[in-house]
Every structure is written in structure tokens, then in C-alpha cells.
Structure 1
Amino acid sequence: MIGVVYLGNNPKTEERLKYIPGQLVTTAKTYKEAAKACVPRQITHKEYFIVFFEQNVLNEDITAITYLQTNCKNIYIILLTNELSEQDRRKYQQCGVNDTISKEASVTEINKKIQFIYDRKEILFDSKEPKYKILQFKMPLWKRIFDIIFSSIAIIVLSPVFLITAIAIKMESKGPVLFKSKRVGTNYTIFDFLKFRSMYTDASERLKELSKTQNQYTRKATADNDNIPNKTSPLAEQTEPTMTPTGVGAEIMINNEEVMLVGDDFLVAESEFNKQKDESINNAFVKIENDPRITRVGRFIRKYSIDELPQLFNILRGDMSIVGNRPLPLYEAEKLTDDNCIDRFMAPAGLTGLWQVEKRGKGGAMSAEERKQLDIIYGQTYNFAMDMKIILRTLTAFVQKDDV
């Protein structure tokens, strides 16, 4: 059971919290009142409390938050704030704030936050660990030992392939043999990701233009968007809103049915905004068909996954594992930071993974959403037996059927 407590005196926030489905929200004006509201009422069942703390004066807030964390068990404090400097953020975190959310967050956003916490209550309310360090993945010892042994043997056995590939790349085009890019792996850690160069040296300059015209994931979204009506709702022009907008990001109700989000230069239904946000997340994976930026050697080494072999050195130094979720470029990873995607990064970053072998089983046809969900499933269920099955399936099906 989870109780929700609001500590603050903002009428608009109180109004939003009243409409949280299935939650009885207790309002407190002082931190001592909030502490009393967080006292468990049942002895036989564990009770957890989420405290929405309205930001005020920093020193007073620190006193209040410290008191709550000291005197209350099983609480999770969410700071309602619009903007924080890095220095203030650290101070709030050190005194016990576990999370933040915008003061203008909608009912939907608040409810999603509560549901996210509820789904992970056994972890987030573990008083033995600092809550701001909870969502951290730690590589199991068996997996790290296997990675070191496997990668070391593979590097020795494949050393002739490394040498031949390096010579072929240098003979065909100018530039370095290895390509380094910043990737985001486990726990959102950024590292230098190694590959044999398979593109011409000016490839990155043309990525922006090519991704607009040839991205196999965004074309469908573009076609769908052609059928979306203008963001400005005709309803808004005909109907008097029941709540006056308060500025950028305000929300109003029309006919007590649809929530409209109001900005400086737009008026859009909340449902439409969420749909566009989901499409943006789903299209984080940029993939170009028949990419003209790839060299002839590059096309060959990609077809047989030889371009991936330098990642054995990433594995040896601990950046990655043999099996895991593929590390993403920075611009893709930043689109996968909402609550539904966090579990993808609470798992090893890998050379091969669940969606890679599943993709080949489906003839290469797999949406970005399917890939994301398989990454999440692997992060939640991986074990030694699963890793061995993925490695065997990778070795028997490494030749890609599609030219991407």
C-alpha cells in the first residue's frame, strides 16, 4: 500500500493531486504535519509514502526534508520544482530528495510517476541503501569472468582477421582503421565504442540529410503525421475554457473532457502531445537502407559482422559484455530517458543481444518499439543459460539477411 502526501500550499497542485486515480492524498502545511501523515496505520502490512514536496526557500527546505528522512520510514520524496542549479540539485539530493517533477506537471504525468514508484517499491523503499544510488546495475562476477576469458581467446584466435581487415580498409580509402564514437551503456555510462571503419571519412556530415529521406523507421511516422489535424483545436475556438491558462505549459479543460496544453505559440490536446512524444521515442533508432556512405570493404565487413570485432577490446576493459543491450549513440540514448525506458540501461551493454537474434529470426523485420521491449526483457530476466543460447544463435546466424 502506498500513501500520497502533499507538503505545500499551492492550490493548483492540490487540485491536480485530487484527481490522481485510486489515491487519497493527504495535504500538510508543515513538515511536522507531513511526518505525522507518514506514520504507518497498519502493523501487519508494509506501508509506503510518496511525499510531493513543493520547493520553497532552500535552507528551510533542507531542514524539512532532513527531518522527514530522519523521522519517517518508507518514504520517497519528490521535489516539485521548475528549475534547479547544479549546486542546489546536489544540496537537495544530499539532504534526502529522491526525485523531481515539474510544478506544472499534469495529472497524467504525476500518475505515471506514482505508478513507476509503485512498480519498484520493494527496491526504492529499501532503507539499507541510499535511494539516489538504487537504480545502479552491478555486473555479476560470473558474467565478468566469462567476458574476460571469452574476449581474450577470441582476440588471439581472430588476430589474422584483424590484420587483413585493417589492411583492406587502408587500401580502399583514406582515414583511420578504427572508428570511435561515444556510446551510452550500462547505467547511462558514456564510453568510447570501437568498430572497424566501414564508411567514408565524411559520412557524419551527410547523416542528417540522409536520415530525413531514407530512415526506415521515420518514414512511417511521417506518413502517419500527414493525417494528424492541425494542432490548434477548433473546439478551443468555440468553447469557453473552464480553467484560465496560467502561461507556458498551462493546461485547460474543454467541456470537462479533454485536457489542452497551452504554450506561447501552440494549443494542443494532451493526448496528441503524448502521441507525438511516443513517436519521438520510438524513432530514436536511426537506420538507413542501402546507405551510400558505406565503402565496399565496409559493406562486406558489415554483412559478416566483422566491423564489430574491435568491441572485444571494449569487453576486455569492462565497457561492455559479450551479451547485453546494444550501447546507443548519445543522441539516441537521450530520447530513451523516460520511466518506461530506464530498465533498458539497468542491464549490461553487449556485443550481441536478445533483439539481434530475434531480428534475424523474423527476417530482419522489427520495429524500434519491439527492439526496446526486448532490451527491457533481457535486462529483467538475463541469466547464464540465456546468455549461452543467445551466443549460440548469434554464431549460427551472424550473416545478416538484410542490407542495412
Structure 2
Amino acid sequence: MPQYSDYIYFGDNLETFDYFHQQVQDILGVDLKFFDSFEAMDMYFQEQEGQFFSVVFYEKSKSLSKDLSQLKKLVQHGKDTLLILIGNDLSRFEKQSYFEAGITNTISPRAHADVFESIRKYIRLYFEATTQTEKFETANTSFPQIGIPLGKRLFDIAVSSILILLLSPILAIVYIAIKLESKGSAVYKSKRIGSGYYMFDFYKFRSMYPDADKRLKEYMALNQYADAALSVNHRAMTAMISDTDAQLFTTDELRDVLIDDESVVKSSESGGRQKKAAFFKLEKDPRVTKVGRILRKYSIDELPQLFNVLKGDMSIVGNRPLPLYEAEMLTTDDSVERFMAPAGITGLWQVEKRGDNGSMSDQERIKLDIDYAQHYSVWMDLKILYKTFSAFIQKADV
């Protein structure tokens, strides 16, 4: 179990290190160790193994193969090492390769202070989720046994297995359609927080173009709320987003990014923090593929979550698993109880009429999540499933 955090910068660009060192000191309140020799850093890890929760800012070099080899060695020191890549303009192949090697996030060499603030929250939640997972493993107990009652778990296995079997032709057709329309993986994974702050890989069909993050800048011109008086702020925010904040979200999560004149936020942001009106809004987001529009309209992009259910990460009915940045905001006494219920594909607030059309407030959703956590049962799940199915039928008829 790591006792405290250790922050490390690996690379040879002293100017970038000085900038990161200042930002880490100002925003994270910690010192940043510097290594320009991988051998020295590797030796340091061997000496301190198991004593730290280490955060490594890894400077991208000109040799991909060298980076991948070194990153894989760092990962071998244990899961208490969080790797963040410093670099811009990565190709799809490079992104995939770096993530497979252990990178969990990327950051620009000149990232705005707001990005370091987001990184601070990300690190905190990552550490908490890792600690929670270690507790489960120490007790030699799997998450489904802790978070999902036996009757509900058996119901989930039966329903998810039957649905996967029945829907397999649709799953295959969607997979092929996505691959034919645009390059990239047909299914994407993102880290989500479920019951008991358990972190897992959340599956969805990709509904956006792979380079959606780089398209944010050009789509600012399509802003339906564009106003001459706001143009200066928009230009400033566009520059910041294209090189920094966009890298903090997975490709499909970028569909929820809102831009105002102060910061980058998410449309589902919670925690009681008041923000000014969001000015970035697209009537028809060009980042979404043609196939993606159909998938979203009928919620077909959610179908891969049936495999999450089969694995035990989620339940058919429960509270929606949250991205790391959002779960970090819901750690107060008045909202933490929502995490006592299993994570689910559909849930109580989704079948409420106001929840379906987006008019329900975050506070109302949290209240319904807590209500579900306190009273859920198989019969309650069946009622929610019936309402979900009815809503889908009505949606399809429109």
C-alpha cells in the first residue's frame, strides 16, 4: 500500500521541466523530481518500490520504440505508477501504442494551469480507486460479490447473456459499419467509477471520428451562439482546448465538452459549482459520424455495456457509472451514497420523463440515485426495465 505520492519528470527538455515544476508546485503543492536518465529513474523505482504512489510525467521522445520499451519497464514496477505522456500531435497509431504501453493520459508541454488542476483531481481519484481495488484484492473478494447481491447478479448474467446472443447480428453489423465509415477502433474504452468507487473499463461503440479532439478548434466557427463581443474569449479558449484540455477526455466524451468565457467544463458537471452560460453549442455536431448519429438516436452505442454486465463491472439496472473527473466531485456526504448501488446501463432517473429530455437537474438525479441505492430490488429493477423498454419503443416510433 503506497504511503504517499511521489512526482517525477522524465525527459531532457529543461525548459519544459521548469514550466512543469512551477505548475506542479503551485497547483499540486508538491515537488517534482527530475530524471534525464532512464537507468537512474529505473534504479530509483527499484529502491523505492511499494513505498510511493508515483506519478510520472514522461516526455515523448523522437523514438516511439524506445519510449514503448521504457514505459513497459516502468509498468512492471506495479500498478501504483500513474504515467502521463507529455507531447502533442500524436497519430492514432502512436496514441494506441502509448496507451497500450501504460500511458493513461496526455498533456501538452505548455498546458494551461486549468489542465494541471484537472490533472490534480484525476490523480486524486485514481489513487482512491487504486486503494479501493487493493482493499478488495487483499480481502480476496471480487467486486461483484461485494457490490451486487446474488439474486441480482444471477439476473444480470441471464439477461446479458440472452441479449448478447439475440443481438449478436446487430452487434456485428454495427461493428462493420463503424469500421467501414471511418478508421479506428469500433469500440472504445474509458475509465469509469461504479459501485464503491470501483474503477473499470467502460465499453461503448465509437460514434465520433477518431480525430474529434483536433476538430474542436475548427468547429468553434459553427457555434450557434457566436457573438462578436465574445470572439476574443472564444479565440483564447479555442487555442487552449486544442492543445490541452481536449487531451483529458476520451474521443466520445468530447461530445459533452462545453466552452464558456472562463473555463472548459462538461455538460453533466456536478458538485454545486456555478458556471456562466456555456457558449459552445453545435446544432448538429460534425464530429459525430453518420453511423454514430443513428447509434446515439436509438442508444445502440450503449450495447457493448452488456459485456460489462456479463463481467460483473455493472448491472443491467443501477446508477450510471461516472467518468473520473465527475465522480471526484461527488465525494461529499450528501452524494456519496449513490455509489453504494451497483452501476447500471439504465436506472431510475433515466426513466423519469424529465430525465429523458434533459431538464432534470444534477441534484435531482443524485437524489434519485440515492433513492435507488436505498431501495433497489429485483421487482424495482423489473419496473425500471419495463419503463426503459416502453420509452425505447416510443422513441423508435417517432
Which of the pair has more CA radius of gyration?
A: 1
TM-score, scaled relative to structure 2: 0.46
TM-score, scaled relative to structure 1: 0.46
As a proportion of its length, which structure holds more helix? 2
